[in-house]
Amino acid sequence: MKRSMADSVARLTGGAVDKADDLKGVDPGSISADILYRSTRRDRDMLKRLAIDEQSSMQVIIHEALNDWLIKRGRQPMS
């Protein structure tokens, strides 16, 4: 059974599907969402310095770390 984005939103929020009808044609795999990650200022500064040293971004470094974590546990990495 293929679930629509509206069905997924309704299931997650406990709301009615018709309130999420504007998402009916949207493929859930085609959108992205921000993930909030809280850390101490010291840790954040360390990641920023690492990103600068690697000529990368904090987002790329965290994405790589999450993929390594998933692989270590036998899961598929994120795309």
In this structure, how many other beta carbons lie within 10 angstroms of the beta carbon of residue 25? 9
Residue spans per domain, the chain: 1-32, 34-79
What pLDDT score does 44 carry? 92
pTM of the prediction?
A: 0.56
Positions in the chain whose pLDDT score sits under 70: 1-9, 15-26, 28-29, 31
What pLDDT score does 77 carry? 93
The answer to whether 17 touches 31, Cβ cutoff 8 Å, is no
The two tokens of residue 58 are 């904090």
Q: In whole angstroms, what is the distance from residue 18 CA to residue 77 CA? A: 34
What pLDDT score does 6 carry? 64
Amino acid code (one letter) for 35:
I
In the DSSP assignment, the letter for residue 22 is: G
What pLDDT score does 26 carry? 66
What pLDDT score does 28 carry? 64
